[in-house]
Amino acid sequence: MKSHYRVVVIGGGVVGSSILYHLAKMGWSDVCLIERSVLTAGSSWHAAGGIHALNADPNIAALQAYTIDLLPKIEEESGQNIGLHMTGGLTMAGTPDRWEWLQSAYRVFQSIGIDDCRLVTPKEAGELNPIMSTEGLLGGMWADREGYIDTTGTVHAYAGAAKKNGAEVIEHNRVLELNQTLEGWEVVTEKGTISCEHVVNAGGLWAKQIGRMAGVELPVSPLKHHYLVSDTIPALEELDFEVPMTVDLEGFTYMRQDQKGLLLGIYEINHEHWAMDGAPWDYGMELFQEDTDRIEKELIMGFERYPCLQDVGVKTWVNGAFTFSPDGNPLVGPVPGKRGYWSACAVMAGFLQGGGVGKSLAEWMIHGEPEADVYGMDVARYGVFAENKQYIKETTGQFYTRRFVMTYPNEQLPAGRPLKMTPAHSEMTEAGCKWGASWDLEVPLYFAEKGFEETPSLKRSNAFDIVAKECKAVRNGVGLLDISGFSRFEVSGPNAESWLNRMFSTKLPKPGRARLAVMLGHDGRLKGDLTLFNWGGGTWWIMGSYYLRAWHMRWFTDHMEDGVTLRDLGEDTAGFSLAGPKSRAVIEKLTEGSIGNLAFMGCGAFDIGLIRAKVARMSVAGELGFEINCRMGDHIALRRALLQAGAEESIREYGFNALLSLRLEKSFGIWSAEFTQGYTPGMTAMDRWIDWEKEAFIGRDAAIAERDGKGPAQVQVTLEVDTGDADASGYEPIWNDGVQAGFVTSGGYGHTVGKSLAMALVNSDVAAEGSELSVHVVGVERKARVIPASPFDPEGKAMRG
């Protein structure tokens, strides 16, 4: 062990060893892995080792596919047998809703490039897996790239290949302290102290303690998980092939062959947390006593699905702990506020995602950005609110329990809610508001009669008509929307303008004006579709998506310079917007200033009744509108004043479900759908906002290269879709004469234009207006055509009026 390394990876499981391998393979050979016991001691040694490429998030699916491709390569590089068995896999559905979902999911997988799966009948499934009972099953999906590996062999293969590339593995050496220094980190271990530039927390069951050593409270918790391995099954001895990996969604079980027996794993409804403050340091190769009473219901269903289990004994019970995050995805990346400290934990599916996590983290360290859009597993997708122990317990437990439970896109899950509520929450609830959650904040979805309950559905729900009425109110009169669910950052200081010029590719607005602002990464891909406000007097605001607060703040602070003061106003500022042709009449009743003559995209400070507010003339709904920002404590009074002033104009409160419809009618994109860090300005038409005369901004060279190149392969378009009782929502495949030509980024029903609409990324050769295409919506192929952008008010007269 040396006294200095460039990177110290803490944790000798599959994730830590993969990170070590990728760093060394990419040229950073001055790296070491420190393990308190031996490699695999923790969760890795007892994991079931299943692998598959399917994932609803296309970026995570791509990383899983990368992992599968990598496994035979590390076996060859290391010379270590990893026991790879590519058996193929089945996912089975036993209810009409689930079968409908599976058919829809199959099409989504097609759209994200997974082309080795197909739908199968129960009869076909029974032939593929002859030991499975098909009773009660309606259908399934087969995937070629499924199987399992030897978990211990795989960890040693990663580590062995890393060592061949110059990395060092140090076992039996627990980390005792982490101290941040000017140059990086000081890692105090049982065998001595190491200095390094970067430290990686790949601690698995011990990630909580390793986080706390650096003053970081990670939202992770271990939960217990059962599987059993049966004695030899005669029916398997008679087969000349291995049965495929099989998931029984209604039975909460997964199954794979284990020699001539079966491994049956259970995601039980009655979950159990363990060691929420981190596993004991002397824990490692132990297991818990099986708790058959707790898993009795799922166990019975598993034995009914695989009747051969009823005739043999159980050879081995495994009841071990795995670490989960609130949404079940990994927590990966640079930890905000802790330069040089990296998270690589809560990788619940470590052998499936470990290769992709290692690749992405190594790229992030070495090049500043990972190749893939990894926001779905970025540690910065959570904020301080997620450090709360009860929040962690509720959300991780909910994810575990619902691992195989059907979740609908319009379903609002209860764990960790309600947490943060705006002051007017109670009054809005009394007015019929139905709430969703954005990050930690309750946000309005729509307003309904008392007693109304929305039915979870893959298709249009029973709230469809309610949303239609809210859209009509905005288009024909005036609507009131709580916009507290936007992020707001205040920028000031003598160098604020020069810093903003560097951070944004867009021309900065003049005092009293606002402007859509495009932020790029160093590679020229998008980092934000934000709005810049120049309030005058050297004070600026950046406004964006509320749930990206920590993610954007990390980017801002990582690129901060002297003479700039940055404040996150998310805990202090709230607001409402007025939208619709009668919005000016409402707001003019509350002010004596010139607010009614405020120019489109103008902004300033105004007295709105008794409230001093920052007001901007804009509207995401594409109507005449005003966004009114106030102190959090003025929220109730502002709402009351606006409702009273709008009474004669029949003002109506509305929610974000209606705003989704209204913005689709204007072809206004949103982050996480039309705009992501995986897309470029040219693909998304955001290049029209770039100030090409600027001498320097982050991502400029890459953006110019795209501008001066052959053009993007895919571009954003608006589609009109012929649908019946369902609308596209995202990632549905788009076809041109049977050949895939793109995918939907978001969709819904345009209540004003009376059409089902979708925004999509399609191949440039079919992007022309009038192109006839088709799209699968909830598994059914529907005709679609490219239409001009902004099907409602294409000239923008309403919002400029």
CATH code, domain carrying 232: 3.30.9.10
Kindly list the distances between the CA atom of residue 473 and the CA atoms of 108, 551, 662, 664, in Å, as whole numbers in the listed order.
34, 35, 11, 17
Which pLDDT score, from 0 to 100, does residue 715 have? 98
Q: Does the residue 403 lie in any domain?
A: no
Same domain for 585 and 723? Answer: no
pLDDT band at 792 (very low <50, low <70, confident <90, very high): very high
* Number of residues that this document lists for the chain: 801
Question: 569 and 632 in contact (C-beta within 8 Å)?
Answer: no
CA triplet 65, 70, 75: central angle to 5 degrees?
145
- Residue 36 contacts residue 372 (beta carbons within 8 Å): no
Can you give the pLDDT at residue 59? 82
Instruction: Output the six-digit token pair for 186.
Output: 């000081």
Spatial distance between the Cα atoms of 698 and 701, rounded to a whole number of angstroms: 8
Is residue 782 in a domain? yes
In a domain, 442, yes or no: no
Looking at the fold, whether 780 and 700 belong to one and the same domain comes out as: yes
For residue range 132-188, list pLDDT tens digits in order: 999 999 999 999 999 999 999 999 999 999 999 999 999 999 999 999 999 999 999
CB 642 within 8 A of CB 578: yes
Cα separation, 237 vs 241, in Å, equals 9
* Residues 508 and 600 both lie in one domain: yes
Q: How far apart are CA 761 and CA 184, in angstroms?
A: 42
Pairwise CA distance, residues 167 & 224, whole Å? 33
Same domain, 95 and 214: no
Q: Residue 742: which CATH number?
A: 2.40.30.110
Same domain, 46 and 188: yes
With H, G, I as helix, E, B as strand and everything else as coil, classify residue 314.
strand
Give the number of C-alpha atoms closer than 13 A to the C-alpha of residue 477, restricted to the C-beta side: 16
Does a structural domain hold residue 628? yes
Q: Which amino acid is at 112?
A: I
Query: Does some domain include residue 477?
Result: no
**Residue 801 pLDDT:** 83
Q: Report the pLDDT value the prediction gives residue 62, as an integer from 0 to 100.
A: 85
692 belongs to a structural domain = yes
What pLDDT is recorded for position 594?
A: 81
Domain count of the chain? 4
Same domain for 576 and 722: no
**Sign (positive or negative) of CA dihedral 691, 695, 699, 704:** positive
What residues have CB less than 8 Å from 169, skipping those under 6 apart?
A: 12, 17, 20, 32, 33, 35, 39, 159, 162, 163
Could you report the per-residue pLDDT of 634-680, keeping only the tens digit for each? Answer: 999 999 999 999 999 999 999 999 999 999 999 999 999 999 999 99
634 and 747 co-located in one domain: no
**pLDDT(275) > 90:** yes
- Do 636 and 496 belong to one domain? yes
Give pLDDT, residue 795.
Answer: 95
Contact 140, 244 (CB under 8 A): no
Residue 60, pLDDT score: 84
> How far apart, in whole angstroms, are the C-alpha atoms of residue 46 and residue 418?
37
Residue 35 sits in a domain whose CATH number is 3.50.50.60
Prediction pTM value = 0.96
- The DSSP result for 507-538, as a single string, is PPPPTTEEEEEEEE-TTS-EEEEEEEEEEETT
CATH number at residue 563: 3.30.1360.120
Cα Rg of the chain (Å, integer): 27
Does 760 or 695 have the greater pLDDT score? 760
Query: Is 494's pLDDT higher than 90?
Result: yes
| Residue 759 domain flag | yes
**3-class secondary structure, 28:** coil
- Per DSSP, the three-state class of 564 is coil
For residues 718, 721, 727, 728, the Cα torsion angle rounded to the nearest 10 degrees is -50
604 and 674 housed in the same domain = no
Same domain (yes/no): 304, 333: no
pLDDT single digits (tens) 388-427: 999 999 999 999 999 999 889 999 999 999 999 999 999 9
In a shared domain, residues 640 and 716: no
Measured in degrees and rounded to the nearest 5, phi and psi for residue 213 equal -60, -25
Whole-angstrom distance, CA of residue 190 vs CA of residue 603: 59
pLDDT bin (cut points 50, 70, 90) of residue 601 is: very high
Mean pLDDT of 555-580: 98
CB atoms within 10 A of CB 507: 16
Phi-psi region of 100 (alpha: psi -120 to 50; beta: other; left: phi over 0): alpha
Mean pLDDT of 538-557: 98
Q: What is the signed CA dihedral for 221, 222, 223, 229, rounded to 10 degrees?
A: 160
Nearest CA to 199 out of 58, 365, 2, 63 is that of: 365
- For residue 418, say if its preceding peptide bond is cis, omega within 30 degrees of 0: yes
pLDDT at 597: 84
Coil, strand or helix at 18: helix
Helix (H) or strand (E) holding 60: helix 58-78
First to last CA, the chain: 71
Any domain includes 519? yes
% pLDDT > 70, the chain:
100
709-744 pLDDT, tens digit per residue, is 999 999 999 999 998 899 999 999 999 999 999 999
Residue 455's pLDDT band, with cuts at 50, 70 and 90, is very high
Angle at 230 between CA 225 and CA 236, to 5 degrees: 130
* Helices and strands: H and E segment counts in the chain: 20, 37
The mean pLDDT value for 29-46 works out to: 96
Chain-centroid distance of CA 526 in Å reads 16
Across the range 435-462, mean pLDDT stands at: 97
186 and 178 Cβ atoms separated by less than 8 Å: yes
pLDDT band at 284 (very low <50, low <70, confident <90, very high): confident
End residue of a domain, out of 614, 649, 684: 649
Amino acid residing at 128: L
> E strands along 686-788, which residues?
714-721, 733-736, 739-750, 755-763, 772-777, 780-787
Domain that holds residue 515: 486-649
The CA distances from residue 597 to 200, 579, 592, 603, in Å, are 55, 16, 12, 11
Domain end, chosen from 337, 357, 379, is at 379
DSSP state, 504? B
CB 786 within 8 A of CB 771: yes
Bridge partners of 519, per DSSP, are 504, 528
The per-residue pLDDT for 55 is: 77
Q: Is the pLDDT of residue 765 over 80?
A: yes
Q: Are residues 546 and 637 in the same domain?
A: yes
